[in-house]
Amino acid sequence: MAPERHFFSFGNGGALRYHSLPRARKRRAPVFFHDDTMTLSEIAAKQAEALSEISAAADSVAIEAARVKYLGRNGLLPALMKGLRDVPPAEKPAFGQALNALRGALSAALEERRAAAETSAAPKVSFDFSMPGSWRGTGAIHPVSEVIEETTRIFARLGFTVADGPDIETEFNNFDALNTAKHHPSRDARDTFWLGPELLLRTQTSPVQIRAMLAKKPPVRIINPGRCYRRDTTDATHAANFHQIEGLYVDVKPVSLADLKSTLAHFAREMMGQSVQVRFRPHFFPFTEPSVEVDFTCHVCKGRGCAVCKQSGWIEVMGAGIVDTRVFEKVGYDPECYGYAFGMGVERIAMIKHGVTDLRMLYGGDLRYLRQFL
Ligand code: PHE
């Protein structure tokens, strides 16, 4: 085999030297040190060496260093290209091809390595710190629950404790013990959801008071919030399922209508603000005598008269009265006991407080509406 001919100048690992001349003078062409030359097989060996160096480059800095070393302006390839000048014409195509192949191989290897380094350097989970955070939303207490809580707190400060009872009640607790006449229309199947001859869905929270009195001797001072059911067609002010809060105070010492009035006036001011006025109108309930209906001055017009209060200036809020002695008899209390009772619709209070004109909005579950109360 003929010895390979050396054509390419290659010295100092391809590093070029410049004469250090004042910048004003034209820079001289780079000078090669002809202390080494390259054969085709040496080019191939150099290519292999360069490729292994590139593939070993661990990060973008090392990759760039390899690029500068081999393909950079002062790197190996331009130096070899320059040497092409000295190659005899007959050999030129072979060397030209070898150099093109070298450039192609090195560029491809660098590119591939760069892409690989980028993917491995990319964090596993991309996280953009500048992105606005995701908002989970804050919950809020529903206006109906809020009224229950607030009312309970107000009466708790007056010494009332919370009593509870089941939604499914006996006819005795819901009607008989409350002195409701046998043929009172409220007992009718068109008004009450009957579950059997003796059982029903309670139409008011008053049966909790019966339960409390059956369980405990006076004094009794309870507040009982809860769900009630009536066979009402749902409209702006009625629902088949609604809430009441009732209160009961029974004692062996005199409890008067004046006590009831001052207690409810206090509640009104705590709930609606100091400027609210309270009005008591005579009424009838089977379980209280005398009975009253309690109105608050309209929250919208402050008593001047508007569409909400039907120009009356007043809004009916609850029923109340002095406990009828017949009720005491039914629960085995001494009829000489004294007591007052009151009961209010929770939705009604929530509507008054928040200016809600349609009760159905409270239960519609429409967040756009309920968010107003956040
Ligand atoms: N339970 C009555 C109703 O549902 C309200 C009330 C309670 C009235 C206590 C007087 C005393 O309308």
List the Cα angle 202/206/208 in 5-degree steps: 85
For 270-319, what is each residue's pLDDT tens digit? Answer: 999 999 999 999 999 999 999 999 999 988 888 898 887 889 999 899 99
Residue 204 alpha carbon, nearest atom of ligand 1: 4
Query: How many helices, marked H, and strands, marked E, lie in the chain?
Result: 12, 9
For 105-142, what is each residue's pLDDT tens digit? Answer: 989 999 988 888 887 766 667 778 888 888 887 777 88
Amino acid at 73: R
User: In this predicted structure, what is the pLDDT of residue 124?
Assistant: 67
User: In this predicted structure, what is the pLDDT of residue 312?
Assistant: 92
Amino acid at 220: V
List residues near ligand 1 (CB under 6 A).
Answer: 204, 206, 246, 285, 288, 319-321, 341-343
List the Cα angle 208/181/249 in 5-degree steps: 35
Ligand 1: which of 155, 237, 287 to mutate, judged by most atoms within 8 Å of the beta carbon? 287
Per DSSP (E only), the strands in 117-219 are: 161-162, 168-170, 199-201
pLDDT reading at 1 higher than 50: no
The token pair at 160 is 């009332």
Q: Name the residue with higher pLDDT: 24 or 261.
A: 261
List the domain boundaries for the chain: 12-18+28-121, 143-373
> Ligand 1 centre and the CA of 268: distance in Å?
17
Ligand 1: which of 169, 230, 289, 318 to mutate, judged by most atoms within 8 Å of the beta carbon? 318
Mean pLDDT of all residues in 235-253? 92
Distance CA(7)–CA(212), nearest Å, equals: 114
Q: Any alpha helices (H) in 273-365, and if so which ranges?
A: 325-330, 346-354, 360-363
Domain covering 143-373 in this structure, CATH number: 3.30.930.10
Handedness of CA 132, 136, 141, 144 (dihedral sign): positive
Closest residue to atom 4 of ligand 1, CA basis: 204
pLDDT reading at 22 higher than 70: no
Q: Name the residue with higher pLDDT: 101 or 17.
A: 101
| Contact (CB, 8 A) for 228 and 202 | yes
Q: Kindly report the backbone phi and psi dihedral angles of residue 197, in degrees, each rounded to the nearest multiple of 5, phi listed first.
A: -65, -30
User: In this predicted structure, what is the pLDDT of residue 123?
Assistant: 63
Residue 201 DSSP code: E
Ligand 1: which of 206, 288, 326 to mutate, judged by most atoms within 8 Å of the beta carbon? 206
Confidence band, pLDDT 50/70/90 cuts, at residue 15:
very low
Of the candidates 222, 236, 212, 253, the one whose C-alpha atom is nearest the C-alpha of residue 348 is 236
Q: Which of 116-120, 144-148, 323-327 has the lowest average pLDDT?
A: 116-120
The token pair at 300 is 């919208």
For 171-182, what is each residue's pLDDT tens digit? Answer: 999 999 999 988
> Ligand 1 centre and the CA of 343: distance in Å?
4
Handedness of CA 224, 209, 188, 179 (dihedral sign): negative
